[in-house]
Structure formats: structure tokens, C-alpha cells
């Protein structure tokens, strides 16, 4: 859903709220649904907060890659006592960790002193070494830093899916607020129209009473209608004001400055014709459930758990680390002597492996648990999308039927007014016809609101913001 940036005139209306601007731009007051969602997506703090998930994933990936950074180390340790150099030990190294747990290391040692440990004794010029450490059991095909990097890459996909879900949820809530505002706005306009009609009818009845064509009781009947219309208008005006404030919760400027919806703006007139294109719910026949953010998130979680499972399975192997270091004086490093080396073998293996086997079993259970959730979520999403499509189709039919009822009630009202003008009807019948017409029109507004909400519910279920 690619929402355009807000129309410049509308933006100025929001930002400045200056009355003379409205007077100059009266022809541009319609606040379309598409513009509104674009404004929410661009400036709402919670949408920006959702976007931070991508930055967080990048930081996690950078941290995981840091485990493979080369490392330079140096240590100097000296002891002087009673004018004697007990020992002076200098160790330096440069380590390069590689993907398959293999580590390459270059080192230089220069030690001397009266009481230095024999195993630390080196030539006067120092001792250089170049070696490699290879894990032959645990850690060869996967180790903790390899697992962390793999999971960090998967977390990028997971956070992308979660960010889409959070963004869609904010746009959904904003859309519901817009629909409620539109319904209340149109309801106020409707009651205002019929209040004006009631006032005009009251004035006409008073004139007929003065001429002796109608009984005085008709003026009371007309006044009752006026009061009922005023009461309905006041109730609707209250709902409109509350929905306008609710809508303002989603209107923000770029620098996290909240703004209020100005009363000069009115909702989109032909919303029922454009909503499917705006939400991109008009053609979802080829929608692939596997592309849904919830499914992508669950698949990412399963992949992360499988990495942990693979790491735990690796822990069943014995720990065998083999290190070889070639030794040489700095001046003779190029003259390789096979017999000058330092070799180290480290072996460790728990006899029962109860801890390792338990961790592996728990890792497998977590994978199975999430896979069951994935299978359930897939069928639920599929059925939910189909149900919402049926609901939208049904609401469209109901709106069409109710619109015909409005036309028929309007025809009946016009006919009753003609009979009244000929003296063959009563004000009571006119009011009765008009009440039926008002109820039918209110029902249309309610059905349209349900249709809009069903459409945005489908959009939320599909959860594809196309950002």
C-alpha cells in the first residue's frame, strides 16, 4: 500500500490552522482516506518505533560478526626486588578466528630474569611463533559464534516481519478511527438536513394555521419533530467531536508534534469506491499464505531454534582441540626447522552426556512446538481471509438493498408531501414517512461503516503494508 504524501494544502491546514487560508482554499477540504493513511505512515511515532526493529536487527548482526574480528593482545609483567630483576615477561599475540572454529595465531614472547620459570625461558632476542588451533570434535562444524551469526541473520528476517505486523496494526487502528469519524460526520450532516426540513415544515404549518387550513395541534406536532431532530443532532455532534479527537491521536508532524483535526476538513465522499484500491484488498486471489508476516516470523523462529538444535547436537561430540605452533627466533624465522614447535592436544568428554542429551531433546521439542503453531496459524489465516471476503461481499449486497429502500422511502415521503399540500394527508403521516427514511439512511451509514471495517480487517489479516 503506497500512500502518497499529504496534499500541500491539507498539510498547511493542519500546520497553521489559519482561517483565511481556509477561505482561500475552500474547494480543497476533503481529507481523503489515502492521504490520511499516508500521513499516519509517515509521521506516527509508533510507526517510527516499528522501523527501529530493522536498526536493532542490524546492530545484532554487527555484534555477531564482531566475534570473528581479529584480536591483538599484549601483556607485560615485571618484578624488581632488592636491585634484582626477578622476572620480566612480555607476551603479545595476533589472533584470527575463522568460520569453522579454526583459529590462526601469531605471537612474540621476550622473557628474562633471575627467577623466571624455566618453561618461559626464551632466546635473548625473544621467540616468535605461528600456529593454528583446530577443533576436531565440538566446534568444528558449528560453535557458539557461528550459531550467533546465523541467528543474527535470521533475526533480520524476523524483525522485518514483526515490523510489518506492528505497522499494519497502527494503520488498522488509524483506519478504524477514520471510519468512525466519517460515519459520525455524515450522521451529523443527515440530522442537520432533517432539522432544517423540520424548521421549514414548522414555518409552513404555522402559516397554514393562520390561514385556517390546518388545526393548531399540527404546530405542536411540528415542534415535537424539531425537538427530536435537535436531540438526535446533539447526540451525533457529541459522537463526532469524540471521534474527531480520537482521529487526532494518529495525526503528527515530522518532529513528533501532535496536531488536531481541523473542523474545516470533511471525510472522503466516495470512500466506498476507493477503499479497496487504497487497502489493496480488491485482488487477493493469488495471495500466498507463506508470504504473510506471521508465517514468516514463525518460520524465522523455527530456523533460529534449529540452529540451537544443531549446536546442542554438536555438544554430543567429544571436545578435541589440536594446536600446533611453529617456533623460531625473530632473525631465523624464514629458516624453517620442523623440529622447533609446540604441540597441544586437549580432550574432554562427559561419560553419560545427560546434560547434553537433555538440552538436545528440549531443543527438538521447541522446534516441534513452533511447527505445530505454524501449521495451526496457516489454516486459521486461510479460513479467516475467506470468511472476511464473504463478509465484505454480503455487506456490499446489504448496502445495495438498503440504498434501494432509501430511494423507496424517499419516494413515499415525496408522495405524502404532495398529498399534504392537497389537504389529503396529515403532518403525522409525513413525519412517519420521514422517520422511516431517516432510519434507512442511518442504517446505510452503519452498513457502510461495517463494510469499511470489514475491508480494513481483511487488510490487517493479510498484513502486507508494502513498505
pLDDT for the residue numbered 106: 93
DSSP secondary structure string for all residues of 135-179: ESBTBSS--HHHHHHHHHHHHHHHHHHHHHHHHHHHHHHHHHHHH
Give the H or E element holding residue 45: helix 45-65
Q: Could you read off the pLDDT of 310-325 as tens digits, one per residue? A: 999 999 999 999 999 9
Q: Does CATH place domain 8-64+146-304+365-462 in 1.10.3720.10? A: no
Angle, CA of 162, 164 and 167, to the nearest 5°: 110
Mean per-residue pLDDT for 444-452? 95
Mean per-residue pLDDT for 22-51? 79
Q: What grid cell was written down for 224?
A: 415535537
pLDDT for the residue numbered 2: 52
Distance CA 324, CA 34 (A): 67
Q: Could you read off the pLDDT of 135-188 as tens digits, one per residue? A: 988 888 888 899 999 999 999 999 999 999 999 999 999 999 999 999 999 999
Q: How confident is the model at residue 6 (pLDDT cuts 50, 70, 90)?
A: very low
Residue 70 has pLDDT above 60, yes or no: yes
Q: How confident is the model at residue 465 (pLDDT cuts 50, 70, 90)?
A: low
Per residue in 367-378, is it b (16+ CB within 10 Å) or e — as a string?
beebeeebeebb
Q: How confident is the model at residue 253 (pLDDT cuts 50, 70, 90)?
A: confident
Residue 271 has pLDDT above 80, yes or no: yes
pLDDT for the residue numbered 171: 93
Strand partners, 5: none
Q: Could you read off the pLDDT of 85-112 as tens digits, one per residue? A: 888 999 999 999 988 889 999 999 999 9
User: Residue holding cell 430511494?
Assistant: 407
Question: How many C-beta neighbours within 10 Å does residue 145 have?
Answer: 17
Residue 426 has pLDDT above 50, yes or no: yes
User: Residue holding cell 504524501?
Assistant: 5
pLDDT for the residue numbered 332: 65
User: What share of the chain has pLDDT > 90, as a percent?
Assistant: 51
User: Residue holding cell 459522537?
Assistant: 239
Q: What grid cell was written down for 69?
A: 574480528
The region of weakest confidence among 126-130, 367-371, 444-448 is: 126-130
pLDDT for the residue numbered 267: 93
pLDDT for the residue numbered 209: 79
For the chain, the C-alpha Rg in angstroms (whole number) is: 39
Mean per-residue pLDDT for 397-404? 94
Q: Give the alpha-carbon dihedral of 6, 12, 16, 18, to 10 degrees.
A: -130
pLDDT for the residue numbered 28: 53
Looking at every residue in the chain, the average pLDDT score rounds to: 86
Give the H or E element holding residue 465: none
Region class of 280: left (phi > 0), else alpha (psi between -120 and 50), else beta = left
Whether the Cβ atoms of residue 272 and residue 396 lie closer than 8 Å to each other: no
User: What are the extents of the domains in the chain?
Assistant: 8-64+146-304+365-462, 67-141+317-351
pTM: 0.83
Q: How confident is the model at residue 12 (pLDDT cuts 50, 70, 90)?
A: very low
Distance CA 51, CA 71 (A): 34
Q: What grid cell was written down for 234?
A: 446533539
pLDDT for the residue numbered 20: 33
Distance CA 30, CA 265 (A): 6
pLDDT for the residue numbered 118: 85
Strand partners, 95: 71, 105
Q: Could you read off the pLDDT of 280-313 as tens digits, one per residue? A: 887 776 678 888 899 999 999 999 999 999 999 9
pLDDT for the residue numbered 431: 85
The region of weakest confidence among 14-23, 196-205, 209-218 is: 14-23
pLDDT for the residue numbered 333: 60
Question: How many C-beta neighbours within 10 Å does residue 39 have?
Answer: 25
Give phi and psi for 311, each to the nearest 5. -65, -40
Q: How confident is the model at residue 1 (pLDDT cuts 50, 70, 90)?
A: low
Amino acid at each position: 500500500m503506497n500512500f502518497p504524501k499529504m496534499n500541500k494544502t491539507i498539510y498547511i491546514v493542519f500546520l497553521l490552522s489559519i482561517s483565511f487560508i481556509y477561505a482561500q482554499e475552500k474547494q480543497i477540504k476533503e481529507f481523503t482516506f489515502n492521504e490520511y493513511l499516508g500521513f499516519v505512515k509517515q509521521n506516527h511515532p509508533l510507526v517510527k518505533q516499528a522501523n527501529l526493529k530493522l536498526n536493532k536487527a542490524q546492530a545484532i548482526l554487527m555484534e555477531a560478526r564482531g566475534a570473528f574480528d581479529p584480536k591483538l593482545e599484549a601483556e607485560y609483567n615485571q618484578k624488581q626486588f632488592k636491585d634484582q630483576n626477578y622476572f620480566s615477561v612480555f607476551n603479545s599475540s595476533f589472533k584470527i578466528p575463522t568460520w569453522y572454529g579454526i583459529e590462526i595465531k601469531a605471537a612474540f614472547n621476550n622473557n628474562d630474569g633471575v627467577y623466571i620459570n624455566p618453561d618461559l625461558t626464551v632466546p635473548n632476542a625473544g621467540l616468535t611463533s605461528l600456529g593454528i588451533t583446530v577443533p576436531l570434535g565440538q566446534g568444528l562444524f558449528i560453535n557458539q559464534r557461528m550459531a550467533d551469526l546465523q541467528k543474527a541473520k535470521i533475526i533480520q528476517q524476523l524483525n522485518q516481519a514483526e515490523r510489518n505486523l506492528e505497522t499494519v496494526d497502527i494503520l488498522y487502528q488509524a483506519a478504524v478511527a477514520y471510519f468512525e469519524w466519517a460515519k459520525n460526520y455524515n450522521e451529523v450532516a443527515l440530522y442537520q438536513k432533517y432539522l432544517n426540513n423540520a424548521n421549514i415544515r414548522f414555518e409552513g404549518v404555522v402559516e397554514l394555521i393562520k390561514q385556517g387550513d390546518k388545526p393548531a395541534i399540527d404546530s405542536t406536532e411540528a415542534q415535537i419533530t424539531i425537538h427530536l431532530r435537535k436531540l438526535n443532532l446533539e447526540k451525533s455532534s457529541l459522537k463526532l467531536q469524540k471521534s474527531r479527537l480520537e482521529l487526532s491521536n494518529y495525526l503528527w508532524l515530522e518532529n513528533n508534534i501532535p496536531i488536531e483535526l481541523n473542523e474545516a476538513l470533511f471525510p472522503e465522499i466516495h470512500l466506498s469506491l476507493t477503499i479497496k484500491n487504497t487497502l489493496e484488498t480488491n485482488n487477493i486471489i493469488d495471495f500466498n499464505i507463506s508470504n504473510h508476516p506471521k508465517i514468516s516470523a514463525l518460520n524465522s523462529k523455527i530456523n533460529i531454534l534449529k540452529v540451537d538444535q544443531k549446536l546442542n547436537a554438536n555438544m554430543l561430540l567429544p571436545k578435541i582441540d589440536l594446536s600446533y605452533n611453529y617456533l623460531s627466533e625473530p632473525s631465523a624465522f624464514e629458516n624453517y626447522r620442523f623440529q622447533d614447535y609446540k604441540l597441544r592436544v586437549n580432550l574432554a568428554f562427559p561419560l553419560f552426556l545427560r546434560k547434553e542429551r537433555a538440552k538436545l531433546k528440549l531443543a527438538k521439542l521447541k522446534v516441534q512446538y513452533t511447527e505445530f503453531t505454524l501449521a495451526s496459524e496457516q489454516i486459521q489465516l486461510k479460513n479467516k481471509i475467506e470468511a472476511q471476503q464473504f463478509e465484505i461481499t454480503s455487506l456490499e449486497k446489504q448496502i445495495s438493498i438498503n440504498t434501494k429502500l432509501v430511494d423507496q422511502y424517499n419516494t413515499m415521503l415525496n408522495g405524502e408531501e404532495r398529498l399534504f399540500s392537497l389537504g389529503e394527508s396529515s403532518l403525522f403521516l409525513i413525519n412517519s414517512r420521514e422517520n422511516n427514511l431517516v432510519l434507512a439512511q442511518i442504517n446505510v451509514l452503519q452498513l457502510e461503516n461495517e463494510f469499511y471495517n470489514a475491508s480494513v480487517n481483511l487488510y490487517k489479516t493479510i498484513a502486507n503494508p508494502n513498505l
